[in-house]
Amino acid sequence: MTDRAAARAAKGVLADQLSAQPGVVGIGLARRDSGYVVKVDVADADAAGLVPRDVDGVRVVTEVVGVIRPLRSRTA
């Protein structure tokens, strides 16, 4: 079981490692079982291969979510 503080620290380490990697679109925390994991959202399966399975003993999970684009506002 990983507590929130450990997962948050691992998220910071991983964010530094992946900040320049194309295809990584988001990094956050998620609850799994009775603890926390670092969750990495990626644009495609190729980008998922760049993500380690754990950081400092904290499990890392990936999810392919596609490319993230801002919503366009509608004008009347």
Q: What is the pLDDT along the chain (76 residues), one digit of tens a residue?
A: 899 999 999 999 999 999 889 999 999 999 998 899 999 999 999 999 999 999 999 999 999 999 888 888 777 5
Do residues 45 and 3 make contact, with C-beta atoms less than 8 angstroms apart?
A: no
Which alpha helices (DSSP H) does the chain contain, by range? 4-18, 45-48
What is the rounded (10 degree) CA torsion for 55, 56, 58, 63?
0
The reported pTM is 0.86
Q: Give, as one character, the DSSP assignment of residue 44.
A: S
pLDDT recorded at residue 48: 94
pLDDT recorded at residue 76: 57
d(CA 73, CA 41): 24
